[in-house]
Chains A and B, each alone.
Chain A
Amino acid sequence: MPTVSFMNVSKSFDGVSALDRVTFDVDDGEYLCVLGPTGSGKTTLLRLIAGLLKPSTGTISFDDEPVNEMISQNRNAAYVPQQYALFPHLTVLENVAFGPLARGRPESEALSMAMKSLELVRLAGRPTAFPKELSGGMQQRVALARGLASGARLLLLDEPLGALDARLRLDLRHKLRQIVKETGLTAIHVTHDRDEAMSVADRIMILRRGRIQDYGNPKRVYDRPAGIFVANLIGGAAFLEGVVEATGGDSSTVRLREGVIVKTPSHLLTTNEPVIIGVRKERTRLADYNAENIIEGDVRETRFLGNSREYVVRLDNGDTMYSRQFQEGKNERFRIGDKVTVGFDRSDVLIFAYPPQGLGRELEIV
């Protein structure tokens, strides 16, 4: 079972950096999700592990053995591209048996391994079908079975659910994790879907412009994101500029525009330090007068989301906050123009040092 290590790995194409001094470890049997916007270096990272690219600098190791010079077919790392790359001229069974046959296993043994993998993904009933005869979800499962049958211990999934419709994605992502865990594989799953990453990963890596922005278990990354970019990518939040008013004990206060005071957790802050506070939309409540922080404003927009409703509130000091209300009774519904209060607790406030290049740049999803 491989552990994968990156030590100061960089990769550039014609002088343009795609990955920049990346260092991390993936444990044996771990399910890692790599999350980041388009162009952040996710696929490059995956292709480096697969041996389809060579690092410009740095060392990639499997089980502490450097593999920079190892060709892809010797790495035991099955790469499942976004469109699955099922061989159109081969049947389902032939596709799945490809790996063992390519490694020189006798035909009968290869076919038996393929059938076992197909049973695992519940497609043993379609061995003679051609890929074009299968639905998107089935094709995804065949690709997975093909990786499993190849004897690979490391599964590299490049946006594996990206080509499926929303409902199928929800169903399959849990199935994917279940199969990986049942077979004891190590999986590295690249996605730009935050919910997908949060729900299947043991750990999440956030990439931006070829650099790791955060790396940890989903709860930690959600509760204590390493920066404004990560907080914004992981969950919608309002980010407000302020200055530390006072610090002490386990609490601090931050002064927003127009002198609005917000209680925040203590965060090794110094008085008069410019900061950004973030409050997630699902952590705010409208018209809750028991909250530790209460700010007045008026409703500017409402968005019906099925199981919840989202409100955009323009605060009296000119800032904007968002609130997602899940339990909405008839009497609790607000209309555009209504005066409301936005309430949230001190512990729900994320606090960050003011970014040197300004808030706007940190909020860019690139």
Chain B
Amino acid sequence: MYSIAIAFFLVIIVIPAIAGILVQLLTLPSLALSAPVLSRMSDAVSWSFIIGLIVSSLDILAGIPLAWLIVRKRGRWTTLLDSLADIPFVIPTVALGFSILEFWSSSSGISSIIGVGSLISPGSLLIMLLHFAFSYPVIVRVMVGEFLNYRETYEVAARTLGASAFTAVRTVTFPILRPGILAAFLLALARSLSETGATIVVAGAFENGTVFIKNARDAGITTAVVIASLVMIVLSLVIFALIKVISPRLKLGPMRVWPGFEKKLSTHSAENSRDFFSILVFVIFVLLPCLFIAFPAIEAVGGGTATEAIAGSGPWKAFWSSMLLSYGIAILATLVNIVSGLPVAVLIARNQLNSKVTKIVDALVDLPIIVPSLALGVSLNFFWGNMGALPEFWVIVLAHTTITYSYFVRAMSASIQGIPPELEESARTLGAMPLRIFRKITLPLTKYSLLSGAVLVFTRSVDETGATSAVAKTLKTAPVLLVDWIKGTVNVTAPERALGVGILVLTSFFALVILRLITLRGTKKG
């Protein structure tokens, strides 16, 4: 069973992600690019990494205080804050892009309050604001988990040894949680490097790596698409490997303490100010820009656009088809992920084969997260496109399976690792066969993670834009269609555009509600 799962993992997930682009590279008649295109490409790729690193650092600075607040000041209002922090996570990024564009750039957004035409025009700054907003919940989610699992006794011991609250957290808590902070940073960086759909919406004439690949592809400059994708993939892998390898070995040097200054930062008023600013940053830079999309959608419902939408007339026929396609693909990608990902999750969690194989599989599972999704899509397109007979629909399903694979396997392997091996060992000594142990012991105990992992895969698939636009030739999923609507490639009115995005947001919101309900049931049972 493990051999089949590993074969699937290598043949369907890993090889197409890399091989497609390599094959294409080798078959290109020439690798030469004109000087202007080469210059555009190097600028765009550099910007991707500059924006990614800046945004991830800012996310860490802003997200950690909010995660801290949620965990350390447990109450009804922090639970609400916890739920609100998830909102950008489930809104499809293309809708998020549109919302942020409207909030910061349009005359009806924040500019109208300040009294300027457009506060921030589409371009690099708006991309940063967008990436900040959608990476933020990743940081909060990871750090809330880290803080919940953290043994507070370290901090308590530090404080009784004379350290102020701020010193204790800075010199003890954060260094101990360094692997978690690093993981959160890398996830945020990966999200920023990967994102395509929403970035295109807010980029204007500016190009980062993924926008350049999209534009080059639209312009038919295949050589530029291949080289830029390859450069993005290689640079991403190198940067992630470097951060992962070097960071744990970095010695921070002797501990420095500024007792007077840090004592001031530990006072109640300083703490309250910090909490206030954390919430303010969250509301102004994340929550409001993300929810801004809801307002024009409400107007659209009142103005009769909703009736047209329900009737399916005009552009709505294509919209509903794309929604059906999106959800159909998401269901299939989720099912394929569950069937193929479960054995790999068990393999990683329980080191079922020899440890070298497990280590290799463990490292490769993160590949689809690390590689920018559009670059991944380009590779998948070349790979599956060269396979010939595979219908476009199935190519999209396979692309989504690849992109969402890490989420399911990681959620499940972490959950299985949490089960004491003694339970399975006891079952084995009582005469149960491996499959029965999995069905009767492992699966019931990880049911919650299986369901929430599946919902995560499902929502990520519905929201996916970059890779889909790379592999799809004629079919359009909902986010890809909405990119066309927002970019003006298709002739739609503003209320239609707002309602289309609103419907996608609403369906994603239901997914969030389902996720919360499952979480609640899981918690009650646990």
Contacts and interface: CB of A to CB of B under 8 A. Distances in A.
Interface string A87-115: 11110001001111111100100000000
A210 interface: no
A42 B168 CA distance: 25
A98 B160 CA distance: 11
Contacts of A88: 176
B257 interface: yes
A155 to B, nearest CB: 10
Nearest to B175: A89
Nearest to B177: A89
B151 A102 contact: no
A102 B167 contact: yes
A65 B159 CA distance: 21
A156 to B, nearest CB: 7
A51 B160 contact: yes
Interface in B7-50: none
Interface string B201-238: 00000000000000000000000000000000000000
Contact of B160 (A77, A83, A87, A94): A77
Given A51-B160, A102-B162, A85 B255 contact: no
A89 B163 CA distance: 17
A79 B157 contact: yes
Contact of A102 (B153, B176, B259): B259
A102 B163 contact: yes
Nearest to A88: B176
B258 to A, nearest CB: 8
B433 interface: no
A73 B267 CA distance: 13
Interface residues of A, number: 35
Contacts of A80: 157
A73 B260 contact: no
A81 B167 CA distance: 20
Interface string B251-267: 00011011110000000
A90 B162 CA distance: 17
Nearest to B263: A73
Nearest to A50: B160
A54 to B, nearest CB: 14
A103 B257 CA distance: 8
Contacts of A99: 161-163
B105 interface: no
Report which residue of B151, B172, B258 has the largest number of chain A beta carbons within 10 angstroms of its beta carbon.
Answer: B172
Nearest to A111: B254
A78 interface: yes
Interface in A62-88: 71-73, 75-81, 83, 85, 87-88
A128 to B, nearest CB: 12
Interface stretch (A4-12, A14-22, A144-152, A251-259): A144-152
B157 A103 contact: no
A195 to B, nearest CB: 26
B156 A73 contact: no
A110 to B, nearest CB: 9
A147 B158 CA distance: 10
A102 B160 contact: no
B164 interface: yes
Interface string A23-45: 00000000000000000000000
A52 interface: yes
B153 A101 contact: no
10 contacts: A51-B160, A52-B160, A72-B156, A81-B153, A87-B175, A87-B176, A94-B255, A101-B257, A104-B258, A146-B161
Given A76-B162, A102-B161, A104-B259, 8 more contacts: A50-B160, A79-B156, A85-B156, A89-B176, A102-B158, A102-B259, A103-B259, A107-B254
Interface of B: 151, 153-154, 156-164, 167-168, 171-172, 175-176, 178, 254-255, 257-260
